[in-house]
Amino acid sequence: MTRVAIVTGGSRGIGRAAAERLAADGMAVVIVYAGNQTEAGKTVEGIKASGGQAVAAQADVGDENAVAAAFDVAEQTFGGVDVVVNSAGIMPLGTVAEMDLEVFDRIMRTNARGTFVVSQQAARRLRTGGAIINVSSSVVGLRFPQYGAYAMSKGGVEALTLVLARELRGRDITVNTVAPGPTATALFLEGKDEETVANLAKQAPLERIGVPEDISEVVSFLAGPARWINGQTIRANGGII
């Protein structure tokens, strides 16, 4: 039986790399995207061109009805769901004093509520032997200025991970989080000059910025062979903290 993965935020960056890696691992993949249908389509076509199986489903991860419909697509197209990767996220920056609270609410809706809503469907629908993989950020530990709202949203994701792992006792479903460090995605690079990126690269002992494939390798591990890792947060950041 082919295993089936749902990847939110699968049209770009870490989500796309995760979807491509899971497809290469032999899974059928549902690419959930918020609004960029063109990029989602490119991801699907790329997977198919490599011999994999993939479809796209549009959904605001904060909308429980849209998320339920995306799970329906997975079940109707491929027969069920085994793996869920919660990769959808936004990262507007700003100090606590100056951040517009409407922006704060948007961050929380996508990053915190979105992960919760998707995890709720996953908890209800995943087949035995499944895996839920959340995506946090190493900034939860680094605590850079201006990342307060973002770090707060991702800290909640890490807290949810062990709670859900315990709630799924007896189901043979693992729940883990991967927390990337600075990674060369459009989300991370936006608004940063070359000097800023170079300084961040120097912080890790490996002296480089991560690439999406570094993170998708960990996702693949947690989605497949890593059955004894559960309720954990893995900081994939080259040793930055």
For the annotated catalytic residues, the residue numbers are: 150
CA 185 to chain centre: 13
Strands 53-58 and 233-236, sheet pairing: unpaired
- Alpha carbon separation from 143 to 114, 135, 138, 155, 191 (Å, rounded): 22, 17, 8, 11, 19
What is the spatial distance between Cα 105 and Cα 124, in angstroms, rounded to a whole number?
26
Q: How many CB atoms lie under 10 A from the CB of residue 75?
A: 13
